[in-house]
């Protein structure tokens, strides 16, 4: 029997319940967003990328990023570092937060990370990837995983060498964003690189890059043979992508919609209303973890994404970007939903049900 595209992943001492991941995204994957992603079908989530050096030095803001949300049973902590001694000094504090796994970032293209010798800079030194993984894997039984890129640039495509170094160092799973550091997030992801790693490595390989729809996730799994997929930008403003992908990968193969109407426009409107309602619920969860000014400020980028593709969305976003309180957001969203969809925000929020 053909293996299901949706399945659990077994790591040493840890079973991940499914193969749909929320990527670690600096400035995005905080407790509230991870909670929303889990509600709507993400099987496993990572913290924002955190500095091993800052952890070792006791930086409180960095430590706060490693805390679990209220209902978070499993969590991956992703760290960036350049030297094995940083791993050793940071590990006791990391273990204090009981992560399900520890992920080493070897792919971040941001200059302030790269200039420290961390992130994608490590793609230029696979032997250092080996040393970092070896130091951590020999010091803890928690699975150590690694996220890499295709290479530094087009003349240095060395994901195979980097992948082998990570596994030889003791990595239990490998993620790959199939772009080079020079590409950043531009151009096209090279899925053939994911396929090659999945074929050659004895550990699960998780693919990332250009996953903006459930169909793209299904295509990646089918075309590359990777063990799972990792949504990044495709999940921002659209956490329903996890639930819809899980549905598409099921035997039935249908994408769950918020409305079963045969009228395509009615079904589309219901989907938009649901997405915006989730965005407002997301704001409420941010307020649960942060003070109002901070939560409202940080939600601007999320709500900008949640409202993408909506009627008169530019005008809506302009209004939302001026909000500094929950009440301001509530009034604007209520007026918008009432005007464009004849829907009451509170009534829409009340029966919010992830299973629907």
Please provide the average confidence, as pLDDT, over all residues in the chain.
93
pLDDT(258) > 50: no
Could you give the maximum distance between any two Cα atoms of the chain, in Å? 61
User: Residue 107 sits in a domain of what CATH number?
Assistant: 3.20.20.70
Pairing verdict, β 173-180 and 144-151 = parallel
End-to-end CA distance of the chain: 30
Domain boundary among 249, 280, 313: 249
pLDDT in tens, 14-54: 999 999 999 999 999 999 999 999 999 999 999 999 999 99
pLDDT(8) > 70: yes
Domain boundary among 249, 284, 317: 249
Put the strands of the sheet holding 228-231 in their side by side order.
44-45, 20-22, 228-231, 205-208, 173-180, 144-151, 101-106, 76-80, 50-51
pLDDT(253) > 80: no
Do 134 and 75 share a structural domain? Answer: yes
Which regions of 221-329 does DSSP assign to beta strands (E)?
228-231
Q: What is the DSSP letter of 170?
A: T
Do 162 and 199 share a structural domain? Answer: yes
Q: Which residue has the higher pLDDT, 154 or 263?
A: 154
> What is the model's pTM?
0.92
Catalytic residues: 108
Helical segments of 13-157, H only? 31-39, 52-56, 60-65, 84-96, 111-114, 126-137
Which regions of the chain does DSSP assign to beta strands (E)?
9-11, 14-16, 20-22, 44-45, 50-51, 76-80, 101-106, 144-151, 173-180, 205-208, 228-231
Do 298 and 231 share a structural domain? Answer: no
Task: Read off the pLDDT of each residue in 175-190 and give the average, rounded to a whole number.
Answer: 93
pLDDT in tens, 287-343: 999 999 999 999 999 999 999 999 999 999 999 999 999 999 999 999 999 999 998
Do 78 and 140 share a structural domain? Answer: yes
pLDDT in tens, 80-98: 999 999 999 999 999 999 9
Domain boundaries, position 284: 264-349
């Amino acid at each position: 029997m053909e293996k299901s595209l949706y399945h659990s992943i077994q790591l040493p001492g840890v079973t991940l319940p499914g193969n749909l991941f929320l990527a670690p995204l600096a400035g995005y994957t905080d407790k509230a967003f991870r909670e929303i992603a889990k509600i709507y079908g993400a099987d496993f989530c990572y913290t924002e990328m955190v500095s091993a050096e800052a952890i070792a030095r006791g930086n409180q803001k960095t430590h706060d990023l490693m805390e679990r949300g209220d209902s978070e049973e499993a969590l991956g902590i992703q760290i960036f570092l350049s030297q094995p001694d940083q791993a050793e000094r940071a590990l006791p504090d990391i273990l204090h937060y009981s992560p399900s796994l520890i992920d080493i970032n070897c792919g971040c293209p941001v200059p302030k990370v790269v200039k420290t010798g961390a992130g994608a800079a490590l793609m230029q030194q696979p032997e250092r990837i080996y040393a970092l993984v070896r130091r951590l894997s020999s010091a803890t039984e928690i699975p150590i995983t690694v996220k890499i890129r295709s290479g530094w640039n087009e003349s240095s495509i060395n994901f195979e060498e980097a992948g082998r170094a990570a596994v030889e160092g003791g990595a239990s799973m490998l993620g790959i964003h199939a772009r080079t550091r020079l590409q950043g997030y531009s151009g096209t992801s090279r899925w053939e690189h994911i396929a090659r790693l999945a074929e050659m490595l004895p550990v699960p390989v998780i693919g990332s890059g250009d996953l903006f729809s459930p169909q793209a996730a299904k295509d990646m799994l089918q075309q590359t043979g990777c063990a799972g997929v990792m949504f990044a930008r495709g999940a921002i403003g659209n956490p329903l992508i996890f639930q819809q992908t899980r549905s598409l990968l099921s035997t039935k193969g249908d994408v769950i919609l918020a409305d079963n109407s045969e009228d395509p426009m009615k079904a589309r409107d219901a989907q938009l209303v649901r997405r915006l309602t989730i965005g407002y619920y997301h704001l409420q969860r941010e307020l649960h973890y942060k003070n109002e000014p901070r939560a409202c400020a940080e939600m601007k980028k999320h709500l900008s994404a949640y409202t993408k593709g909506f009627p008169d969305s530019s005008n809506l976003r302009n209004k939302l970007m001026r909000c500094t309180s929950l009440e301001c957001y509530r009034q604007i969203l209520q007026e918008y939903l009432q005007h464009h969809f004849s829907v009451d925000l509170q009534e829409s929020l009340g029966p919010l049900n992830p299973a629907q």
